[in-house]
Amino acid sequence: MAYPPAAQSPPPRQPSVKVILASADVQRVVDRIAHQILEKTQGAENTVLLGIPTRGAPLAKRLAARISTFEDVTVPVGVLDITLHRDDLRRHATRAVGPTQVPPGGIDGRRVVLVDDVLFSGRTVRAALDALNDVGRPASVQLAVLVDRGHRELPIRADYVGKNIPTSLAESVKVTLAETDGTDEVKLYGGTPA
Amino acid sequence: MTKRRPAILVLEDGRTFHGEAYGSVGETFGEAVFNTGMTGYQETLTDPSYHRQVVVQTAPHIGNTGVNDSDDESGRIWVAGYVVRDPARVGSNWRATGGLEERLSAEGVVGVSGVDTRALTRHLRERGAMRVGISSVETDPRALLARVRQAPEMVGADLSTEVTTAQPYVVAASGEHRFTVAALDLGIKRNVPRRLAARGVTTHVLPAGSTVDDLLATGADAVFLSPGPGDPATADGPVALAREVLRREVPLFGICFGSQILGRALGFGTYKLGYGHRGINQPVLDRVTGKVEVTSHNHGFAVAWPGRGQDPGAVEVPGARHGAVVPDAVIETEFGGVQVSHVCLNDNVVEGLRAKDVPAFTVQYHPEAAAGPHDADYLFDRFAELIEGRTHSEGRTHA
C-alpha cells in the first residue's frame, strides 16, 4: 500500500470572478431605468440623453429606444466626450479626443440625463459636467449609471442606478455591452477569494 | 408547461399591450384599476368591491403563495379580469391548497400575464381609470377596442344589488355576546363581521334591498354600512335608509362605500377619483388625534370635501402633510355638526366622517384590512364603545 502523496503546496490563487448581472439582467435593469426616467421627468418631456464614451453612449441609445417603446416618445440622444476635461489629463500619455455629438436642438434649457456604465470616484462625471459647459446651459442635469460601486471622491450621486454593488477598493467592476464588447455582462473581479 | 396563448389588453383610449393568456381563456371587459399591494392578492380577487373591475397588480410577482381555503373575503372571485407581469411558476406556502392560475381558470376569470404593468400603471395614473378589454381569443386590437368602447362605464353603475347576499345570515360573536349589529350587505368582506365578532358583536348580514325595519327587526343595537362596488351616486336606497337610521339616532358605522352613503345622507356630494386608491400602504391622518395610520384602501369614488363648493377633492389642508392636528371646521347639516375625521395624506381626499350630534361615523378606507396593515383596527373598538355608550345612556338592554 502506497502512502497518500505528501501535501503539495497550494495551487496559485486564481483571481475570483463573479458575474453580477448576466445578459437578461442587464436588459431588465436598462428597462427599469427607462421607466424611472419616464416617471421622474414627466414622460421624458424636454429631456436629452447624453452618453459618456465608451459604454455610456450605447447605454444612452438603449434607454432612448426603451423609452420610445414604453411611451411612444422620442428622446434625443447624444454623446459627450470628456477627454479634455479629465483631471488626470497631464498625468497620462496623450489620449485620442473623441467626438461629441449634441442632438439637433441642443441642450440649452433642457433636462440633460448623463449616462455612464460605472459610477466610482465621481471624477468622470465631474469632467462631464465641465464638458457640458462647452455645449450649452441645460435647465438641469441628472445622472444615470448601470452600476454604482461606491468609493466616491467627489460630492456626486446618481439619480438612476441600475445596480448598487458594494465593493472594496481591491476589487474591480467590468461592464461589457453587446455594442462594444459582444456580450452584455457586469462582472466583479478580485477581492476576497471564496 | 405548454406555451401560453397570446393575449391582448386594449384600453379605452386605444393603447394596446401584448401578453399571454393567464387563467381562463376568453374575453372580458371592465374598468382598469391598479392595486399597489405587494401581498394579499387572494383577498383582492375575492373582494366584492372589485366587481366589474380589471385589476392590474403593480407587484411584479403574483401567485407565489398559491391560494388557500381561509383567505377569501367572499364566496367567489369578483374581479372582471386580472393583469399581472410575472405569474409564479410554482406557488408554495404551508397554507396553500392550490395554485392561483388553477383557481382563476376554475372560476372562469380571464387574465393576461407578461404585460409591462409599470407602463400600464403609469398610463392609468396619468390618464385616469378607464375601460379596458382583455382577450385571448381576439387577435385584432381594433376589433377589441370597438367592444371596449361599448362596455358600460363605472360612473352611474349601481352594482351593490349584484354582489349582495341573497339570504340574510348571522355571524356569531366569539366569546361573550355584547351587542347585535345589523349590516347592510352592499358587498361586505368576511373580515368585517370577524373583526366585530372579536369584540363580542353578533352581526346580522342583510341583503342590499332591506329596509330600516328589516335591519332593526334583528334586535340590532347598531347599523353597519358595508363596503362595496359601484357609483355611490346611484345608491339612493341605502342613502334613504342611512337617513332614517340617523333620524332614529341608531349608532351607525360604515366603511368605504358605506362612508360615501353616509356622506350623501348628510347632504354631501361624491365624485370619481382620477385613478382611485387601491393598495395597502396609504397614509391617513386621524384629524382628531393627529396620528397617522398606514391603511388599506380600495375606492374609486370619494366624498366631496364638505362646504367647499363644487371643487371636489384636491383641497389643500394646512399642515396636513406634516401630521399637524388641523383645527377642524364643523360643518352644519340637517343631522347636526359633522367633521372630516380622516384625510389621505397623499392627495387630501376625505377618508372619514364623524357626526357630532348623532351617533354616526364612517371611514373611506378599510380598518378590517385583509389584505393590509392593522393600524386602523381600533375603529371597531370605537364602534363598540359608541354602541356601549348609547345602550347604557338610554337604558336599553339586549340579552
User: What average pLDDT is seen over chain A?
Assistant: 91
Residue B398 lies in a domain: no
A92 pLDDT tier (thresholds 50, 70, 90):
confident
Structural domain span for residue B135 = 6-148
Going by C-alpha positions, the residue among B203, B117, B293 that lies closest to residue A35 is: B117
Is the domain of B243 the same as that of B377? yes
**Given this model, what pLDDT does residue B170 score?**
95
B119 min Cα distance to partner chain A (Å): 6
pLDDT 10s digits, A128-185? 999 999 999 999 999 999 999 999 999 999 999 999 999 999 999 999 999 999 999 9
Mark yes or no for CB contact A38/B122 under 8 Å.
yes
Q: For residue B116, give the nearest of A39, A43, A70 by CB distance.
A: A70
- Sheet order of strands, A111-119 included: A77-79, A47-51, A111-119, A140-148, A160-164
Question: For position B189, what pLDDT does the model report?
Answer: 95
Q: Is the pLDDT of residue A193 over 70?
A: no
Which residue numbers of B have CB closer than 8 Å to A's CBs? 116, 118-119, 122, 126
Q: Which residues contact B320 (CB under 8 A, 6 or more apart)?
A: B285, B326, B343, B345, B348
Are residue B276 and residue B213 in the same domain, yes or no?
yes
Look at residues B15, B18, B57 and name the one whose alpha carbon lies nearest to residue B36.
B57
Last residue of a domain, one of B126, B148, B170: B148
Closest residue in B to A33 (Cα–Cα): B118
pLDDT in tens, chain B (399 residues): 567 899 999 999 999 999 999 999 999 999 999 999 999 999 999 999 999 999 999 999 999 999 999 999 999 999 999 999 999 999 999 999 999 999 999 999 999 999 999 999 999 999 999 999 999 999 999 999 999 999 999 899 999 999 999 999 999 999 899 999 999 999 999 999 999 999 999 999 999 999 999 999 999 999 999 999 999 999 999 999 999 999 999 999 999 999 999 999 999 999 999 999 999 999 999 988 889 999 999 999 999 987 654 444 444 554 444 444 455 678 889 999 999 999 999 988 999 999 999 999 999 999 998 888 999 999 999 999 999 988 765 544 444
Same domain? For B303 and B281 the reply is: yes
Distance in Å, alpha carbon of B61 to nearest chain A alpha carbon: 15
Residues of B labelled catalytic? 256, 366, 368
Strand duo B350-355 + B336-344: pairing: antiparallel
DSSP letter at B152 equals: P
CB spacing of B119 vs A70 below 8 angstroms? yes
For residue B122, list chain A residues with Cβ-Cβ distance below 8 A.
35, 38-39, 71
Å from A42 to nearest chain B CA?
10
Give the pLDDT confidence score for residue B251 in this predicted structure: 96
Give how far A70 is from chain B: nearest CA, Å. Answer: 6
Cell 450621486 sits at which residue? Answer: A157
CATH code of the domain containing B58: 3.50.30.20
Q: Taking CB atoms and an 8 Å cutoff, what residues of chain B touch A43?
A: 126
Contact B119 A43 (CB under 8 A): no
- Give the pLDDT score at A31: 96
Entry pTM: 0.86
Could you tell me which CATH number the domain at A26-85+102-166 has?
3.40.50.2020
User: Do B119 and A71 make contact, defined as CB atoms within 8 angstroms?
Assistant: yes
Q: Does A71 contact chain B (CB < 8 Å)?
A: yes
pLDDT above 90 (res A93)? no
Task: Confirm if B19 and B84 have CB atoms less than 8 A apart.
Answer: no
Considering B118, B148, B178, which residue would you say is the last residue of a domain? B148
Give the number of beta-carbon pairs within 8 Å between A and B.
10
Same domain, B353 and B332: yes
- What pLDDT is attached to residue A98? 82
Nearest to B55 by CA among B43, B66, B68, B73: B43
Q: What is the pLDDT of residue A141?
A: 97
Same domain, residue pair B88 and B188: no
Q: Are residues B129 and B180 both part of a single domain?
A: no
Sign of the alpha-carbon dihedral angle for B226, B229, B231, B236: negative
Domains of chain B: total: 2
Please check the confidence at residue A90 and state whether its pLDDT lies above 90.
no
> What is the H or E stretch that residue B261 is in?
helix B257-265
